[in-house]
Amino acid sequence: MRRPPIPPGPERGFFTAPALFVALLLLGVSVAFLGHTMAEVRNVSQFESQGLALELAETGLVRSEMEFLSQVDADGDGLGTVAASWRGGDFDTQAFEVSAEETGEAGVYRLVATGTHRHAVRRVELGLRVESPFVFRHALFARDRLTMDSSVATDSYDSRLGTYASQATRSDALGAYAEATGHVGSNSAIEIRSSVRVRGDARAGPGFTTTIVGSSARVTGDRTPMEAPYDVPDPPLADFEAAYATNDNARDVSSGTDRSWNATTHNLTVTGNATLRLRGGTYFFNDFIFDSNGVLQVDAPSTIYVTGRFVFNSSSRINFGGAPADLRFIAHPYGLTPGYTAPTEPITFTSSVNAAFTLYAPGRNVTLDSSLHVYGAIVGRRVHADSSVRVHYDRALGDAGGGGGVVTQRLYWRELTRTER
């Protein structure tokens, strides 16, 4: 059979040209589509890098906060200053860096964090408040001078393990005691006289000494001066203002035949043999006075702010048998009530009072006198204990403190603009 004749050259070229044109058109579309796809991939990658850079900056802020919370500056560059960098691939650089500087306001820091992922950079600023609630470490501590006289004694027990009586299995010349970690201290001088028995350390402030007067006085622990003063700042005015504005006085405190209460002046006097029951919360008083044999019963953790006269007279029982951490007294002579002038007389506990509490009053003098028992811890400006006073430090306070460990609060967060970077 004979094959069909092949068309002449010009006719064959007529079919080839359109095919070539279509092929070139498809190639162009493909290249354009590929270019668009690559651009979209780059955009997505840049968007992801921007997000990851912000995450890295926030990671740095968290690391910075952790340094403040732990109070450990492992790398020695200052608390809150942290940095780290690594590679996730050949060109995948990741890093964060945080600087921390004081603002001039006590306990407030400005943190600036930079997060980097590939070529993306994000910077944010954080205002951070760092608070270190006071932790009671001593049976007695004086910001100024501490004096102990006439058979005063200290020791320690642990309220988490049961009653003091169940733990007081040791004895010495001043009677039964529990543990010999009833430390006392001062940022100034300490003077111990006449048969006093400090069952624990008695450390004065830097440059000061612990003086023992009389051969019968004893300190069983360390008497070397402290290397640095103990930080005992005045309690914050803002805390008193908040307690003055919002408190639980109206619920639990009222006038009666056995007490005098003025809700305007915030002055309270509980007369002899009467009981005041607090169901727990926050309370504010100017004068807070218990006459002989008065009872303060605490049903739940309570914090009492006192700005004025603060007296427990003979044989008062204050949270007796309770945990010291459940009753916190915070005292300072702030004048918040109009027309009220805070007195300069010391906070006073007298004759045969039995009480379980903590007292933080670094701006007030404190006097403990005559055969009383305090379970807990006391901080004052000048502290004087006399005549067979017993102070039993509760070791549980070393963990609970007056409020625990360091606390941080984020005040603001904002991303810095390009001009601020």
Please write the tens of the pLDDT for every residue from 332-350: 999 898 988 888 899 999 9
Give the pLDDT of residue 402.
Answer: 40
Q: What is the mean pLDDT of the chain?
A: 88
Q: Is the domain of 210 the same as that of 254?
A: yes
Residue 401 has pLDDT above 50, yes or no: no
- Beta-ladder partners of 295: 275, 317
Which range of residues forms the domain containing residue 80?
Answer: 10-132+406-421
Cβ(113)–Cβ(123) below 8 Å: yes
Q: Is the domain of 301 the same as that of 166?
A: yes
Q: Is the domain of 224 the same as that of 256?
A: yes
* Cα Rg of the chain (Å, integer): 36
CA distance 311 to 83: 53
Cβ(230)–Cβ(141) below 8 Å: yes
Q: Is the domain of 147 the same as that of 121?
A: no
Q: Is the domain of 113 the same as that of 199?
A: no
- Beta-ladder partners of 157: 394
At 116, which helix (H) or strand (E)? strand 108-117
Give the pLDDT of residue 420.
Answer: 77
Q: Is the domain of 285 the same as that of 147?
A: yes
Q: Is residue 286 part of a domain?
A: yes
Residue 37 has pLDDT above 90, yes or no: no
Q: Is residue 3 part of a domain?
A: no
Q: Is residue 341 part of a domain?
A: yes
> Alpha helix (H) ranges present in 305-400?
397-400
Q: Is residue 161 part of a domain?
A: yes
Cβ(53)–Cβ(115) below 8 Å: yes
Mean pLDDT of 305-320: 95
Q: Is residue 5 part of a domain?
A: no
Q: Decide: helix, strand or coil at residue 249.
A: helix
Q: Is the domain of 124 the same as that of 157?
A: no
Q: Is residue 110 part of a domain?
A: yes
Please write the tens of the pLDDT for every residue from 356-377: 999 999 999 999 999 999 999 9
Q: Is the domain of 185 the same as that of 279?
A: yes
Q: Is the domain of 226 the same as that of 284?
A: yes
Q: How many helices (H) and strands (E) does the chain have?
A: 5, 32
Q: Is residue 2 part of a domain?
A: no
Q: Is the domain of 78 the same as that of 172?
A: no
CA distance 119 to 207: 56
Q: Is residue 94 part of a domain?
A: yes
The tally of domains found in the chain comes to 2
- Centre a 10 Å sphere on the Cβ of residue 357 and count the other Cβ atoms it contains: 26
Please write the tens of the pLDDT for every residue from 88-107: 665 578 999 999 999 988 78
Band of pLDDT at residue 379, cut at 50, 70 and 90: very high
Q: Is the domain of 165 the same as that of 189?
A: yes
Q: Is the domain of 274 the same as that of 216?
A: yes
HSE-up of residue 118 (Cα within 13 Å, Cβ side): 14
Residue type, 137: R
Please write the tens of the pLDDT for every residue from 138-159: 999 999 999 999 999 999 999 9
Residue type, 293: N
Residue type, 244: Y
Phi–psi pair at 384, nearest 5 degrees: -130, 125
